[in-house]
Amino acid sequence: MMSVNNRTIIITSPSTSTKALPAFPVGASPTTGKPVQYRIEERKRTVYVTSDVAPSEWDADSLETIFTLAEGAQSEHTEDNDDDPPIRRARSLVDTQITIVEDDSPNPGQDSSRDASLSPRSSPNRLRRPANKSPGLQTTKSSGAIPNSSRRSPIETRRKILFYHKTDPYYGFTNFSDHPVMYKGKRYPTSEHLFQSFKFHGHRPNLAEHIRTCSERPSVAFSEARRFQPEVRPDWKQLNVPMMEEALWHKFTQHADLQAELLGTGDAELIEDSDKDAFWGVGVDRRGRNELGKALERLRTKLREC
């Protein structure tokens, strides 16, 4: 590897199927006295990928997917920066040397709002510092295929489970589902009743009891709690997530069917697909905090540890 005019050049011995360019007078071999054939490859850019799969286990299709995703990320970048010329990846017509190295230094310009494992970013002006490489980290492909069909893909996305609507699966994950909850010897028609009553426990016990008994319908409990918003405990914004976790714990530990359904989701991402709530759900723009989904994932982990 060498640097020429701010360009990084990788020099490798070619495969037997590659035709050499005409002889170029760069010097003779110190051992044989004859010209040595090299392939000179100009590195245009570096693509960053986060994966828990060792590079030696990657297959050709996975690498092609990485480059395709990187092209999409680069296209997004150029759309936001009209002054920058578009960058396109041309397919090589000769054998391609693929060098994979570990990178433990920060990646400048990486969009922190995106998951690096799902959207690799390209950095055309960044050089990566090679770490100690094992034999499996450097591969040469001649025909676009890397032997060993058992190799895994480094691009692994989590399964997503959306819940919200009563007619859709996993409605039991919502606080409006018809699953009564017992709390301190009292019955709450739904976990929504319990959660809304937490806003008044301690300092306004009469209002807390009113929320519990006002109706069997969770929407009424929600509306009543909103009607008495001025009476909500002043530290509620600091406690609302822990109180949600408390309500969910009692609900899912008291209903074996719900607990089994939650544990059956594996490691899937749980998403409250609400277009009305950008805090507990994803909101109308689908960029909300999804705090209910996150609380359910934490509950799932807790139940497995018990």
Give the pLDDT of residue 235: 96
Give the model confidence (pLDDT) of 72-129 as tens digits.
555 554 444 444 444 443 333 334 444 555 555 554 444 443 343 333 333 333 333 3
DSSP state of 25: -
Largest CA distance in the chain: 98
Distance separating alpha carbons of residues 220 and 204, to the nearest angstrom: 19
CA 151 to chain centroid? 22
CB-CB neighbours of 185 under 10 Å = 5
Which amino acid, 295? A
- Kindly state the tokens that stand for 246: 């408390």
Give the model confidence (pLDDT) of 22-68 as tens digits.
555 555 555 666 666 655 555 555 666 677 777 767 776 676 677 66
As a whole number of Å, the CA-based R_g of the chain is: 29
Residue that has been written with the tokens 């609507």 in this structure = 165
300 or 57, which is more confident?
300
Nearest to 45 by CA among 108, 87, 101: 87
- Kindly state the tokens that stand for 278: 């950008």
296 contacts 248 by C-beta, under 8 angstroms:
yes
Give the pLDDT of residue 216: 98
Global pTM reads 0.53
The β-bridge partners of 251 are: none
42 contacts 16 by C-beta, under 8 angstroms:
no
DSSP state of 161: E
Give the model confidence (pLDDT) of 185-241 as tens digits.
999 999 999 999 999 999 999 999 999 999 999 999 999 999 999 999 999 999 999
Sign of CA dihedral 274, 278, 283, 289: negative
Q: Where are the alpha helices (DSSP H) in 144-265?
A: 191-197, 205-213, 218-227, 236-254, 256-263
